[in-house]
Amino acid sequence: MNITLSADAQTVEKARLAAQRMGKSLNQAVRDYLEQLAGSGDRSQDWRDFANRCTDAGGQLKGWHFDRDQAHER
């Protein structure tokens, strides 16, 4: 879908330069922002994905376990 935005020339030029520094076109930066904005209401899937990555990381503890007393030694 195409949309039309109104903005002053100075703002557009600054935004274009900012997008260029990110390695994107202004069009891509606006598209990315719209996608982020549209998905900002429900972050629960992001948190589930994060939790899955943490638990499935396959870390190697090599016998180490958390010891509360040892953690609080001074």
Of residues 26 and 40, more confidence is placed in: 26
63: confidence class by pLDDT, cuts 50, 70, 90:
confident
The amino acid sitting at 15 is: A
pLDDT of amino acid 24: 92
Average pLDDT of the segment spanning 30-41 = 82
Residue 21 has pLDDT above 70, yes or no: yes
pLDDT of amino acid 64: 74
Residue 65 located in a structural domain: no
Average pLDDT score over the chain: 84
Distances (CA, A) of 2 to 9, 44, 49, 56: 20, 30, 32, 41
Owning domain of residue 27: 1-40
Residue 33 located in a structural domain: yes
Overall domain count for the chain: 1
